[in-house]
Copies of this chain bind each other. A is one copy, B any other.
Amino acid sequence: MNIGEVAERSGLPAKTIRYYEDIGLVRPQRSRNGYRAFRESDLHKLAFLGRARALGFTIEDCRTLLSLYEDESRESAQVKTLAEEHLAEIDAKISQLQSMRALLSRLVASCCGDDRPDCPILDDLAGEIH
C-alpha cells in the first residue's frame, strides 16, 4: 500500500503519517522506487494511533499504549492507570473551561452590544469592580 491509500483507510493525513514515521511510531518498508510500502499491520497501527489521539492521548501516551498493545505480558492495570490519569486531565480541562465559560457568559449577558462604547466586558478586563 502507498501512503495515499493508507491515509484514506486510516483517516489520517499523509503528512501526519510521514510525521509518525519520523518520530518512530510506524516503520513502513520501502519499495524499490523509494515509496513507503505499508503492510496491513502498519495500517492497523495507524488506525490505533488515530483512535488514541481522538481520545486526546498525547503522542507519548500513544507510544506507550502501542507498546503495551504489542506486549503480551502487559498487565491491564498499566493501561488502566494511564487512562485514568488522562481522564483526570480531561476533567481538569473541562472544569477550567467551564469556569471560563461561566464568567464569560455572564459578561456577555451584561453587555448590551449596541453602538455605544460602554462595555462591562472591557470594564471587567480593565479590573474595574462593579
* A interface, CB within 8 angstroms of B: 44, 47-48, 51-52, 54-56, 65, 68-69, 71-77, 79-81, 83-84, 86-87, 90-91, 93-94, 97-98, 100-101, 103-105, 107-108, 111-119, 121-122, 124-127
Give the complex CA separation of A86 and B107 in angstroms.
12
By secondary structure, the A interface counts as helix
Give the complex CA separation of A116 and B93 in angstroms.
32
Do A107 and B83 contact each other (CB < 8 Å), given the known contacts A94-B94, A119-B76? yes
How many copies make up the complex? Answer: 2
Give the complex CA separation of A93 and B98 in angstroms.
10
Selected from B55, B105, B118, B119, the residue in CB contact (under 8 A) with A87 is B105
